[in-house]
Amino acid sequence: MRTLPRGLSLLFTLIMLLVSVASFAQVGISITIAPPALPVYEQPLCPGDGYLWAPGYWAYDYNYGDYYWVPGTWVLAPEVGLLWTPPYWGWGGNAFIFHAGYWGPQVGFYGGIVYGFGYFGHGYEGGRWNNGQFFYNRAVNNINVTNIRNVYNVTVVNNTTVNRVSYNGGNGGINAGPTAAEESAARERHVPPVAAQTQHAQAASANQQLRASVNRGKPPIAATAKPESFSGAGVVGAKAAGAPYHPEPNAKEPAPRPANASAARPENNVPRPPTPTHAKDLPPHQPPTPPSNPNSEAATQYQQQQQKLYTQQQEHQQLQQSQEQDHQRLAQQKASGAQMQHMEQMHQQQTQQMEQRHSQQQQARQAPPAHN
């Protein structure tokens, strides 16, 4: 077999990477069943100054074909002055699309979803920054004034029809669009969820009791005082499901839990992080373990794995660069909120496809060789 010269081979590889990156936008994972209603629960006591409320939400596990609840929690803001825009599900015309939450100087559009505790569909009424300190509105937050003194009390008149619908658009969804202020917020600097939030969602995905098919829309851990604190003081269970639960037809039966497994963290070999929106949100690829004998067959396999890892890293960088260029271009064009939303949907589809493909390649490399 003839081989290409090294220069042509590298050029061919780069061309194929660019073609594959461009094709991601054409492929998406379709979720046609709406997420369950938001459960009814109380907010746990705020643990201290600087913690902001991040409402609970339904995420989706693509491995099980089922929604799971990510409990609401108090989380430290990554920077002074930043506020949390919650994630939400929106109907995209033929499927539900997850819009990841983010930190920013203003609260952006979160689908008009009434999460409560200051998030009543638009904006945030739970508190505000003032001279480097966050002041809490006691009217909508559970605050102990003995420990936290920077508080105020403003009654919020909610003119929105109160319901527990957890998605925007589609059949039965919230009929709301972004305001001018929210469109402006979409063009501002965004900071992704902090590590504590990511780990909190990962822990939720690994807990069978938080799957909708198990708790039927009434999760036993609805909210926590701090991220990942799924047991003990500060854990709040749901009082009720927000609406009658209709099971996801594609959901798998939960795997049996070992007798010695923790109720809060059952065994689950497929932990899933919250749905990433951008390539830069993905964790770095883990390098293969070098062999002890450099002249063994394992050394040859190690070199092959290194090359595949390099290809994945190149693909990751290409996609990240492409997405950043999209952001810069639309910012320069002063794109509308709808245009920004469409771009984020496309980026999410791109990132999900790359993550799944790389995960499958990683599993294939780790699988033991077949013996004849």
Instruction: Look at 14 and 44; give whichever has higher pLDDT.
Output: 44
List, for residues 45-56, the tens digit of each pLDDT value.
999 999 999 999
List, for residues 33-47, the tens digit of each pLDDT value.
999 999 999 999 999
Provide the pLDDT confidence category of residue 126 given band limits of 50, 70 and 90.
very high
Give the separation between CA 321 and CA 323, rounded to whole angstroms. 5
Assess contact for 53 and 117: CB atoms under 8 A.
yes
Helices (H), the chain: 6-23, 180-186, 195-205, 212-215, 297-332, 337-366
User: What would the two tokens of residue 83 be?
Assistant: 């506020």
Provide the pLDDT confidence category of residue 317 given band limits of 50, 70 and 90.
confident
Give the separation between CA 235 and CA 207, rounded to whole angstroms. 15
User: What would the two tokens of residue 245 be?
Assistant: 């639960």
Provide the pLDDT confidence category of residue 28 given band limits of 50, 70 and 90.
very low
366 pLDDT more than 90: no
Q: Looking at the DSSP assignment, which residues form a beta bridge with residue 173?
A: none
- Give the predicted TM-score (pTM) of the model: 0.64
Q: Lowest mean pLDDT of 159-163, 172-176, 340-344, 356-360, name the range.
A: 159-163
Residue found by looking up tokens 């990132």 in the block? 351
114 alpha carbon, distance to own chain's centre:
19
- Domain segments of the chain as ranges: 51-224, 277-366
Phi, psi of 149, deg, nearest 5? -105, -15
Task: Give the residue from 180, 175, 157, 154 showing the smallest Cα distance to 165.
Answer: 175
Output helix, strand, coil percentages for the chain, rounded to the nearest 5. Answer: 30, 15, 55
Give the separation between CA 7 and CA 70, rounded to whole angstroms. 48
Give the separation between CA 169 and CA 286, rounded to whole angstroms. 39
List, for residues 264-299, the tens digit of each pLDDT value.
333 333 334 455 678 777 766 656 666 666 666 766
User: What would the two tokens of residue 356 be?
Assistant: 């799944």
Give the separation between CA 88 and CA 115, rounded to whole angstroms. 10
Task: Give the residue from 35, 63, 61, 65 showing the smallest Cα distance to 250.
Answer: 65
Assess contact for 75 and 197: CB atoms under 8 A.
yes
The CA distances from residue 16 to 12, 171, 308, 356, in Å, are 6, 40, 14, 18
Phi, psi of 75, deg, nearest 5? -135, 145
Q: Lowest mean pLDDT of 22-31, 228-237, 330-339, name the range.
A: 22-31
Residue found by looking up tokens 């609401």 in the block? 72
Give the separation between CA 145 and CA 209, rounded to whole angstroms. 34
